[in-house]
Amino acid sequence: MLSLRWVLKTGLIVLIAVMVGAGPVWASNAPVVDGLAAVLMDVETGEVLYAKNPHLRCPPASTTKIVTALLALERGELDRVVTVSLTAAEQEGSSVWLMPGEEQRLRDLIYGLMLGSGNDAATAIAETLAGSEKKFAVEMTKLARRLGAKNTRFRNASGLPAAGHYTTAYDLALITCHALKNPEFAMIVQTRNYTLPGNRLQKERLLYNHNKLLWRYEYADGVKTGYTRQAGSCLVASATKDGHRLVSVVFRSKHMYDDSQALLEYGFDEFRLVKLTGEMFRETAPVQAGVTPSVAAIPGRDIMAVVPADAVGKVRVKTMFKPEVEAPVTCLEEVGQVQLYLGDKLLDAVPLLAAEAVPRRTFLFNVISWFRRLFVDKSRYIQRFFRAGSRLG
């Protein structure tokens, strides 16, 4: 790794509204949660703001359907027509009353999955996209692994009890944060009611979202409830306040709505998201032997961190450039690094990239530059001469 040197003074960054760091940062007044396991996570950064048994394997019940919906949105064509099989229509548990042979668009089935918690919709989606629910569950597990959920395994698409079907509060929070960045998913899970279209076999059905937090808590905007006798009551919830989005996961709780709201309010009260976007960043990196002496530097991504609300004023940004950035410089070539600090603690580090290419100076370029300077200097001399003469006259 090339050494870096300080070239710019320290400055304060702009506050938007949320946090990140090397590990969980909990305030002293964290809520008491009834649930067996719980996590509060910042959506932007993945920072854990509260945890109770975060890595305990738990049956997720219908919160499983978060992964079913995400995989369907990533893999399927939403206007594709799905024909419901007898197997799907006969699924036990919660249902959106699908009939064998009924045709529905994939989009409508996902609404039925997430609002009405239809196990029949889950199986119909799985069979259509993977050939069987078993194969679809394998793909769900692969998706979870890809997103960093290493302590999760799915056996079906609905969350019905099955041996070896489990996740953790941490893993499901991680998956949900990713899912909420999908605009279609985010829109579906905040929808309070939806009409499942009718057809030759069924009348239209008005579905109401099972997530009562959407009515109870003004900032709530998702995502999914779950219940089986084995899993108990489970809730994955999201809320957004002043541009700051949080996700809570509560497993096996007798008071899942109270637990979830308490966690979300705790997050909004105690933490702030500090964020510096590329549009806010205005720095230049020195370039040696280039046709220009410097190049505009832009961060490779937004610089952000979640910090305690009372520590926002202590956050600093430091910018460093490589000691020798020599032309030619290619567009998006790394030229330095910007770092975010709370006191002496490094919160975030993002590469600085060249905003444009800088060619190397050539002999011809040097000659042309010399003549240009000579002409400019001569013109200035002549102008001064005539100005002096006019004063004498």
The catalytic residues are 62, 65, 117
Q: Read out DSSP for 171-183?
A: HHHHHHHHHTTSH
What is the arrangement of strands in the sheet containing 315-321, beginning at the earlier edge strand? 5-6, 315-321, 334-342, 345-354, 294-299, 283-286
**Strand runs labelled E in 269-378:** 271-276, 283-286, 294-299, 303-308, 315-321, 334-342, 345-354
Q: Give the number of other CB atoms < 10 A from CB of residue 212.
A: 14
Q: Is 63 helix (H, G, I), strand (E, B) or coil?
A: helix
Degrees to nearest 5, angle at CA 115 with 38 and 97: 130
Contact predicate 165/151, CB 8 Å: no
Phi, psi for residue 14 in degrees, rounded to 5: -85, 135
Q: Which residues pair with 82 in a beta bridge?
A: 104
| Structure-token pair, residue 53 | 């048994």
> In 256-348, which ranges are continuous DSSP H helix?
256-270
Amino acid residing at 180: L
Distance CA 25, CA 22 (A): 9
- CA-nearest of 117, 125, 114, 121 to 99 is 121
d(CA 218, CA 57): 31
